[in-house]
Amino acid sequence: MLPHLAVFLISAAALAYEILLMRLLGIIQWHHFASMIISLALLGFGASGTFTALAQKRLLDHFHFSFAAAAVLFSITAPASFAAAQQIPFNPLEILWDSNQFLYLVAVYLILSLPFFFAATCISIRFMHSRQSIHRVYLFDLLGAGFGALGIILLLFLLDPSECLSLICPPGLFAAAMVCLDRKTSRSVKAALILFLAGILIAVLTPFGRTGLRISEYKGLYAALRVPGAEVIRESSSPLGWITVVKSPVIPFRHVPGMSLNCTVEPPEQLGIFIDADSFTPVTRYRGNPGEAAYLDCVSSALPFHLLDRPSVLILGAGGGADVLLALYHQASSIDAVELDPEVVRLVREDFGEFAGHIYASDRVTLHIGEGRGFVAGTHRSYDLIHVSLLDSFHASAAGGFAMSESYLYTVEAFQRCIKRLRPGGFLSITRWLKIPPRDSLKLFATALAALERSGTDRPGLRLALVRSWKTCTLLVKNGEFTPREIEIMRSFCESRSFDTDYFPGITQEEVNRFNVTDEPVIHKGAMALLGPDRLEFMDRYKFNIQPASDDRPYFFHFFKWRVLPEVLSLKGRGGLPLMEWTYPILVMTLVQALAASLILIILPLFFLHSAGGRTSGEVRIGFYFLFLGLAFLFMEIAFIQKFILFLSHPLYAISVVLSSFLVFAGLGSSASGRWSGFLCRRGGWASRSAVGVAVGVIAVLSIAYLALLPSVFEKTMAMSDWAKVPLSMAFIAPLAFFMGMPFPLGLSRVADSAPHFIPWAWGINGCASVLSAVLAALLAIHLGFAMVVGFAVVLYAMAALVFWKPLG
């Protein structure tokens, strides 16, 4: 039992470390680089397979020592690798200018892969040592991972990410101690005692042992703190983000994005809230007189307030409260403000309540802590205005997810829901940063158009308007057609602020591109083309991807098109690089690197295994079996995490609940697979060979049924409380995950029976496949959608079942 517990602990610590690393790298660098670095570092799992395959005899002869040593090395390298990686002067922003950055990047990968290498080595050794009960080893491996994922997220509520780092050590040391105890010699018991004590000591000292974070000097927080007199006045942390409040009394923050050049007012005093050292939201001093917020009337997002009289407003992404101030200034009759991060709310409401004039406690304001899309789906209220201003997506990577920035707020379905919640004559108003050449504005327009059409609107063009300041653009979608009076108000709003009208019903060429002139009125022309018959052709010819995002492909921020890459690279000398969003190419780069490294890690051990006389006729099939499984498991897991994010409407809770449930129930499935295969084996013949086939059959039926049924189930249960939605989600995941936990131990048990020296190789392949799978799933989802990712998973499982059908030679 003790070695099983040791596997549990190591596995828990390794997954916790992975999630923690995502948080830490997201703070010191940027999220998309964080996920690339971690993906590559996770190849440490693959490398451990190679290593244990080569050294298996020696490792097995000294099982207890090898396991304990690897566990201790994991404990040491987990914090040490991060500390060392921080010393490497890797600057992702310079990567396209400076080839040395690639060397630094590889060094970061290698250093951070060490802890994963040692953790996976422990598990691999244990598989080899415990050939008769592989399903139990896998049970504890998965249970550990499930608890690790949940544990670290709970811990991140209590401690700073840098404090959590040292807490990764004790489980590793305890694991080593347990394996030492299992050996039962007096020396090993003494060693166990020392390891236990060391683990406890580190745990006790944790609150005092904070690792210093070297935050990139190109992040907003660093720049803010270089200003004379600027200081951090509050710091707090949760799994949603690391929050820093900065006061800058000498040279104040004056955050009014895209303020009209005709306005001469200086904004009131502001405090800066930085999330993960970058994302910025101001808290503005407010003494209770709405007139103080007059400066906010100088931005493009103020437009809808001029079209409505004392509207009831829903604000999605309330942050530091600027939009609530704007609504108060315009005497909104009621304001529902939704903010995802309770810590930001607490700061505005309590810590700086007086400074912010207790705006969230105003009679007319009701604050809701939650995610925008979920709130809209769950509410029965209707509004005159739904207001979304400069709100970017929550990075799933903040909680250890995958950082392609999925967003369920800027999809066709989300727009449809928002429009449904508008009173007749009401507006959905969305403001985004203006990019040159235009991207967001046209994609918003295309998305709104698709939403109106899907809702059965006859002439959607009569319900849309698009205006821009020199820095922001605002899209209005009306529940009804624009009236001539509204168009007149819009004209004069823009005229007095020198804002441009890019589209409104009946706009003429003379009314565009007047104040903030671009070479070509691309937004206007684009909007007209999108409304015309050649919409598809226009979207195809446009050099950025402006196809509307959907719930199945929730990638609003994906503007990249392959065919533009050569052109952009050729324009490097002429300032052409910023023409592209780099998240997608980084994802592809990750895949290419992971593929190359995986191939080496998978093929290399074969030569050694052969020369050691360990040839087996079934090795190719072993390889493919574990490759298919590794890919399929994560495809399924990632796709369903996304589906449940929409349902649980809180990315962090969804990831915690879904990930942990998947791992724990798959663990239970693994445990049951032992009895299951025993039962089938006793029947012999085809029955013994169909073990995987049956499990895969159930997986296929369940997953396809879920794809068909979940949307309507979600629709009906969306308004239920979280306390009901969480167990409901778990009930859906349990059977699917249970059967997904079976194929791996069934396959590995068969390898253990007929070609035991291939166990570590199979384990390594599984590790490599998991890395490839995470990146591939994101790429497939971008192009084909998450439903297809599930489809691919089913096919891969089926192929694995076919491979399993034939006995190993």
Partner 1 sequence: MNRKGLLQSGAFLVWVFVLAVAAPAQQEDAYRGLRAGLIEEIRADVKLTSERIGRARLTDRVLQAMLKVPRHEFVPDRLRPYAYENRPLPIGFGQTISQPYIVAVMTDLMDASEDATVLEVGTGSGYQAAVLAECVKQVYSIEIIEELGREAAERLERLGYRNVEVRTGDGYYGWKEKAPFDAIMVTAAASHIPPPLIEQLKPGGRMIIPIGSAFMTQHLMLVEKDPGSKIKTRQLLPVAFVPLTGGH
Binding site for partner 1 (CB under 8 A): 91, 93-94, 97-98, 217-219, 222-223, 226-228, 250-251, 254-259, 261-266, 435-438, 470-471, 498, 515-520, 522, 525, 529, 538, 541-544, 567-568, 571, 573-579
User: Residue 364 in contact with residue 332, Cβ under 8 Å?
Assistant: yes
254: exposed, middle or buried (Cβ count in 10 Å: 0-12, 13-18, 19+): middle
Nearer to partner 1, 262 or 289 (CB): 262
Which residue in the block uniquely carries the two structure tokens 């080899």? 128
Return the number of the residue (354 or 567) whose C-beta is nearest partner 1.
567
Question: Which residue, 634, 582, 548, is CA-closest to 404?
Answer: 582
- Written in H, E and C, the secondary structure of 288-356 is CCHHHHHHHHHCHHHHHHHHCCCCEEEEECCCCCHHHHHHHHCCCCEEEEEECCHHHHHHHHHHCCCCC
In the complex, least distance from residue 516 CB atom to partner 1, rounded to whole angstroms = 5
Cβ at position 93, least distance to partner 1 in Å: 5
Residue 418 makes CB contacts below 8 A (sequence gap 6+) with 376, 386, 428, 477
H helices of 718-758, where?
Answer: 722-740, 743-754
Smallest gap from Cβ 401 to partner 1, in A, equals: 25
Q: What string of H, E and C letters represents the secondary structure of 433-495?
A: ECCCCCCHHHHHHHHHHHHHHHCCCCCHHHHEEEEECCCEEEEEEECCCCCHHHHHHHHHHHH
Q: How far is the CB of 575 from partner 1 (least distance, A)?
A: 5
Closer to partner 1 at the Cβ: 16 or 296? 296
**Residue closer to partner 1, measured from CB, 50 or 248:** 248
In the complex with partner 1, which residue's Cβ is closer, 222 or 624? 222
Three-class DSSP labels, 148-215 = HHHHHHHHHHHCCHHHHHHHCHHHHHHHHHHHHHHHCCHHHHHHHHHHHHHHHHHHHHHHHCCCCCCC
Q: What are phi and psi of 642, to 5 degrees?
A: -65, -45
Question: Residue 335 — φ and ψ, nearest 5°?
Answer: -130, 115
Nearest Cα to Cα of residue 140 among 670, 758, 659: 670
Whichever of 50 and 260 has its CB closer to partner 1, that residue is 260
Is the CB of 39 or the CB of 547 nearer to partner 1? 547
Residue number, 192 or 326, with CB nearest to partner 1: 326
Contact 798, 701 (CB under 8 A): no
Length of the chain: 809
Whichever of 193 and 223 has its CB closer to partner 1, that residue is 223
Rg (CA), the chain: 28
Which residues are 312's β-sheet partners? 334
**Burial (CB count within 10 angstroms: exposed 0-12, middle 13-18, buried 19+), residue 1:** exposed
Q: How far is the CB of 107 from partner 1 (least distance, A)?
A: 18
Residue 295 is encoded by which pair of tokens? Answer: 């400066």
Q: How far is the CB of 223 from partner 1 (least distance, A)?
A: 5
Min CB(567)–partner 1 separation in Å: 7
- CB-nearer residue toward partner 1: 257 or 711: 257
Least separation in angstroms between CB 332 and partner 1:
24
| Least Å from the CB of residue 252 to partner 1 | 8
Minimal distance, residue 540 CB to partner 1, in Å: 9
Cα gap 712→714, rounded to integer Å: 5
Angle between helices 169-183 and 63-87 (to 10 degrees): 170
Q: How far apart are CA 51 and CA 514, in angstroms?
A: 67
Q: Identify whether the C-beta of residue 625 lies closer than 8 Å to the C-beta of residue 808.
A: no
Q: How far is the CB of 498 from partner 1 (least distance, A)?
A: 7
Q: Which is nearer to partner 1, 18 or 278 (CB)?
A: 278
Q: How far is the CB of 564 from partner 1 (least distance, A)?
A: 9
- Least distance between partner 1 and beta carbon 528 (Å): 10
In terms of CB distance, is 142 or 224 closer to partner 1? Answer: 224
What is the distance in angstroms between the CA of the first residue and the CA of the last residue of the chain? 33
Cα gap 56→612, rounded to integer Å: 11
Nearest CB to partner 1, comparing residues 229 and 288? 229
